[in-house]
Structure 1
């Protein structure tokens, strides 16, 4: 079989309902890697909360974070590393109007930066820091550089209204996305940044043709990646909208090792 580039979304796809990677999923992905295929994580998550998953897989491929905004090889200096950012003034403007917009909590970050307006001791998913030093508080003094991403916890009932307001205010500069987890979290990235951008970059780097890309996802922020891949696979638990553009849908969901079972069959990895 020709070498494949396997692009993996994390939440709702590679990870189970406990946001963990199961032993079986890990085993199949490592086997695919040993068989010469390129296994790469393409996630909306920041590096800080995807590093452990990357490390547990034991892969050495580039990882894409912030929905395509950051491409890097963890723990290495890579001369092809890139990071897209947007003007820090936008983050500060959001901060100044957060109550009016209905933003409860917000964080601005880049590969090696994390600032938040408030700590969240009850954050089960670590999306917002549980403790903050004075130098980690999001304000004009601490935000010295342009962020790659701004993440916001908003009022659930006002989510659609907030998205519409953000589109009106910043739509020409930003991509406005909804995080796929259980909480009403919005994420902002520079205009033109999508997972497709990261996937194209990987394919170019490894000289893999589009027909040899297989991508897995479950949510709206996977749409461009699923559409671009030669074989775009949506999880059984994925959105109906995404399933409409998929080449295939996994018979099992992310709580049943749906990705691992599909990949084992697709790559003919069974003994």
Structure 2
């Protein structure tokens, strides 16, 4: 079998509902790598809350974070590493209009930066629960352009806030609404998505688009699923994403759906 590039989303795909990688999933991904295929994480998560999964899987490949905005090899200096950003003034404008926009928490991040304007306990690990003085999002600490911003918004304000941000900054950023139970908006550099990261990986490894297998479950996986030669959507994925899929896993992320599918597809058993 020709060498494949296997790009895997984390939440709802590689991870079960307890945000864990099961022994079965680890075993199959390791088998795929041993068989000569390239396994790479492509996630919306920051690297600070995804590198432990990378290490647990024993990967050495590049990882794509912030939905395509950052590509790097964890724990290494790599000459091909990239980070796409947008102007930090957008963060300051949003902070100034926070109350009016119905925003509760504003965070700005980059590969080596995580700042938030207030501590928050809504999502474990996501927004800082306590903030040191140098972790507060303000003009003193935000000295570089961010690769991503996330905002916790008043639930009933979400569509209105998204529209307002789109209208004000839409020529410079993408505005994404998170799936899941929490009303969160995500900003990324204009025109950047997971497909950007996947194309970068394919170019780096000289892999033909037809030999890319991508796994995902949510709206932020759409461009990646569409771009890959073989886009596979999880059984637990959204209806909209399933409409773009080449195939759908028979099992969910709670049932090792990715592992069972890949084992059969690559004939790893």
TM-score, normalization by structure 1: 0.97
Give the structure 2 partner of residue 162 of structure 1. Answer: 161
What residue is the counterpart of 1:235 in the other structure? 234
Q: Partner of 2:136 in structure 1?
A: 137
Which consecutive residues of structure 2, in runs of 5 or more, have no partner in the other structure?
Answer: none
After the TM superposition, which residues 62-101 of structure 1 pair with which residues of structure 2 at under 5 Å, given as runs? 62-101=62-101
Q: Is the Cα contact below 8 Å between 1:11 and 1:181 reproduced in 2? A: no
Offset at residue 240 of structure 1 (A)? 0.6
Structure 2 match to 1:248:
247
Task: Tell me the CA shift for residue 123 of structure 1.
Answer: 4.2
Q: CA deviation at 1:163?
A: 1.1
In the TM superposition, what whole-angstrom CA distance separates every residue of 1:188-243 from its partner, at most 9, and x where no partner exists? 01001100000000000000000000000011111110000000000111111111
Structure 2 length-normalised TM: 0.98
Q: How far, CA to CA, are the matches of 1:266 and 1:238 in structure 2?
A: 19
Compute the displacement of 1:124 (Å): 4.1
- Determine the structure 2 residue equivalent to 1:115: 115
- Preserved CA contact (<8 Å) 1:11 1:180: no
| RMSD between aligned residues | 0.9
Q: Which residue of the partner structure matches residue 184 of structure 2?
A: 185
* Structure 1 unaligned regions, length at least 5: none
Cα distance in 2 for partners of 1:152, 1:112 equals: 19
SS in 2 for 1:232: strand
- In the alignment, the residues of structure 2 paired with residue 255 and residue 162 of structure 1 have an alpha-carbon distance, to the nearest angstrom, of 33
CA distance in structure 1 between the aligned counterparts of 2:180 and 2:47, rounded to whole angstroms: 17
CA shift for structure 1 position 72: 0.2
CA offset at residue 178 of structure 1?
2.0
